[in-house]
Amino acid sequence: MLNLQTICLGVLYSGSKSGYELHKIINTDLKHFQTASFGALYPALGKLEAKKFIVSDGKKNPIQTSSLPKKIYTITENGRAVFEAQILKTRAEEKLTSDFLAAFHFAEHLPAENIAALIDSQSAKLQEEYRDLISTPLSRMSEGQRFGIRYTIAINRAATAFLKGEGRAIQATLSRRLPKG
Amino acid sequence: MLNLQTICLGVLYSGSKSGYELHKIINTDLKHFQTASFGALYPALGKLEAKKFIVSDGKKNPIQTSSLPKKIYTITENGRAVFEAQILKTRAEEKLTSDFLAAFHFAEHLPAENIAALIDSQSAKLQEEYRDLISTPLSRMSEGQRFGIRYTIAINRAATAFLKGEGRAIQATLSRRLPKG
DNA sequence: AATAACATGTAAACGGTTACATGATTCG
DNA sequence: CGAATCATGTAACCGTTTACATGTTATT
């Protein structure tokens, strides 16, 4: 699986950025397949720098208080080569972890109101994701990126349609159960 | 997020099982939203046992060579209560990590044959998942579990349809690019 | 007797989250 | 001058993967 280091190389490939900017890009543009917290991002950048895959212009000297705290990372030639090799050997792999589906798997332990809440909340999340996806400006985006967005939208729509069609039905069915005792 | 310990409690709720059986159940019946390796499973069971949420009938005595190595885990009353509380407060959360989408995001660094391979491989994986999903015996399954399977099938179909419809088109588009130099 | 499947576990390393800690810059 | 946002980083902890290590039971 592609790890955060490789993702960072990929984002830095198209231009130098600070850790903070990288964080923003990953958690907006790449949100549908990757996220990163600062606690994951900074150590990843540190490791990439140690391996000479990226360089920074940072003044890490704490005495120089007047210097900008902002540190711009730039990918090296070595880094580019490593990224290209990595992305070339990438296989179609996906891993979903879903509390929504897990909760339904064990739904016999849930009262009807919780079932309803889960479906409503999942629908809302899908709607929010949908808004994010369609609001992304398609210009300045590569063909591959557009393809990924459209793929994700197709899945999002199917999920929403399913919940709209069958969500009420399952709520009704599960409400008819005998209360556990 | 629901962790493996809680998932184990959930599976043991409906009947006592060995670690090995638990492993098989999670990686078949729960495959569409959760997997677990032995290296993750056994420590999780050990922690649950330490907390008295489960008990085992294991003869851990290595001198007793004649005893069965099989260890059956049973959920305790305390464990049931903890699981019920956990599942009750579960929120609709989902996390997808996709090398397929990541590769497409950076597809400008990929030659056309890799694009084609990625789409073919993703289609094959979806088909395989689909076969698994429809082959699951619907009897002896709760309403909630059936709902989860149908939800996953709806998404799987949408993904397959998208790749069938637009997969060739993107391959053609990306093949028309100038080779990088 | 060999092989596949059953069965349990550990250790090192990895990757990530959450919370903490600090400080600068910009805008109203 | 206060608030939001920009900005970097560490530490403790958590959960998992991968590889290793070992042995049993059932089938052919």
Please report whether residue B141 resides in a domain. Answer: yes
What is the pLDDT tens value at each position of chain B, 181 positions in all? Answer: 899 999 999 999 999 999 999 999 999 999 999 999 999 999 999 999 999 999 998 654 333 333 456 899 999 999 999 999 999 999 999 999 999 999 999 999 999 999 999 999 999 999 999 999 999 888 889 999 999 999 999 999 999 999 999 998 998 898 888 665 4
Q: Are strands B54-56 and B72-75 parallel, antiparallel or unpaired?
A: antiparallel
For residue A58, which amino acid is it? G
**Together in a domain, A84 and A107:** no
Mean pLDDT of chain B, nearest integer: 91
Q: Is B164 exposed, middle or buried (0-12, 13-18, 19+ CB in 10 A)?
A: exposed
**What is the rounded CA–CA span in Å between residue A95 and residue B106?**
19
pTM recorded for the entire structure = 0.93
**What is the rounded CA–CA span in Å between residue A97 and residue B72?**
27
pLDDT tens, position by position, A119-165: 999 999 999 999 999 998 888 899 999 999 999 999 999 999 999 99
Name the residue range of residue B49's domain: 4-88
CB proximity list for A132: less than 8 A, separation 6 or greater: A28, A31, A32
**Together in a domain, A84 and A103:** no
Q: Are A96 and B98 in contact (CB under 8 A)?
A: no
> What's the farthest any 2 CA atoms get from each other in chain B?
70
Is the model's pLDDT at A62 over the cut of 60? no
**Together in a domain, B148 and B113:** yes
A159–B155 CB contact, under 8 Å: yes
Q: Which residues of A touch B33 (CB under 8 A)?
A: 96-98, 101-102, 105
B window 133-172, beta carbon within 8 A of A: 142-145, 147-148, 150-152, 154-155, 157-159, 161-163, 166, 170
CATH of the domain at A78: 1.10.10.10
Distances (CA, A) of A66 to A11, A19, B152, B162: 29, 20, 55, 54
Q: Is A40 exposed, middle or buried (0-12, 13-18, 19+ CB in 10 A)?
A: middle
pLDDT tens, position by position, B1-40: 899 999 999 999 999 999 999 999 999 999 999 999 999 9
Tokens of B76: 């305790």
Task: Indicate the number of domains in chain B.
Answer: 2
